[in-house]
Amino acid sequence: MTSRLVECVPNFSEGRDKTIIDRIIQPILDNKGVTLLDIDMGADFNRTVVTMVGDPESVLDTVIQCTSIALELIDMSIHTGEHARMGAVDVVPFIPISNVTMADCVDLSQRYGKAISSKHNLPIYLYAESATSTQRVRLPDIRKGEYEGFQVKLSQPEWKPDFGPSQFMPKMGVTATGGRNLLIAYNVNLNTDNKTQANQIAGKIRTSGYIIKDDEGNQIQDENGKPLREPGLFSNLQAAGWMYDENTAQVSMNLLDFNLTGLHQVTDAIRMEATKLGLQAVSSELVGLVPLDAILAAGQHYGNNPNATEQELVDYAINGLMLNKLSDFDPNSNIIEWAIRGD
């Protein structure tokens, strides 16, 4: 029987000081029941995404230790970065991989929230499958206002944390945790330094779409005074325009269900929308790891070879998605199943 495996992908609001990240991840290296799959540090975002996998209890114990170290070393009152953030430990998702149910992951998130809020007096929100209200299901809704806005947000009754005090903690900020399905964090870079154009493309493809405006740039509202929105092209897709570096804008995405909205579909759509603006999609990157099935689907699309081997499909996907343009893409360490097999 396959081992019980859960994935945890904590986001830490530090992407520039490797010594801090080294200390944060040490509990993962020390626990034989947990495997460190990936560390993705981003200096411009000033954020590090860590991917670990293991048996549920080992993962829970380990991420609690990592969180305690991060809360000690990271000071949000002096933090700056491109990526939306709200806490030193920004988000801690638990994802079922094998012989683990979503209910198991919800339970892990609840136990994590109780343990950390009790130990550190940290405000914690439950999101995704663990959410206790509809307005807390989506992480962007919780993050809205970012770190700077939580001093006011925490005082609002509807934003009382699920665990911890309704009190702003300047050094720590707040944290979100929850059980969720496997998410693919995927970014496509454009040959422009105009973030507005990247955000314009993001609005065309994301599920929430974009606000409709008149010829003078004013929002068009419905009879209740709410802005009218044009839905985006895809379901289960979050997207926004960010900067990869000072010269390169990117469409930053979370694919919430790759079976419904795949990597190749969003890549092709971005290429099409970029062309309309006189731009080109020039490269892409994955933040964290990707499931094999998502890569194989892209390989089938770009390779158009019904007799291709698994390795050939992976190669087709890497080229079609432009994953090898920024740097070498190693499927043995970036595809979840291959990384676990290699370990």
The first and second tokens of residue 186, run together, are 């995927």
83 catalytically annotated: yes
Q: 124-146 b/e with 16+ CB inside 10 Å = b?
A: bbbbbbbbeeeebbbbeebbeee
Q: Of the residues 79, 83, 264, 301, which is catalytic?
A: 83
| Contact criterion met (CB below 8 Å) for 224 and 280 | no
| Distance separating alpha carbons of residues 281 and 87, to the nearest angstrom | 32
* CA dist., res. 239 & res. 220, Å (int): 22
Tell me the C-alpha to C-alpha distance, in Å, between residue 184 and each of 146, 152, 260, 281. Answer: 22, 32, 12, 19
Q: Which residues pair with 47 in a beta bridge?
A: 42
In this structure, what is the dihedral angle of CA atoms 124, 172, 70, 250, given to the nearest 10 degrees? 90
What are the residue numbers of the active site?
83
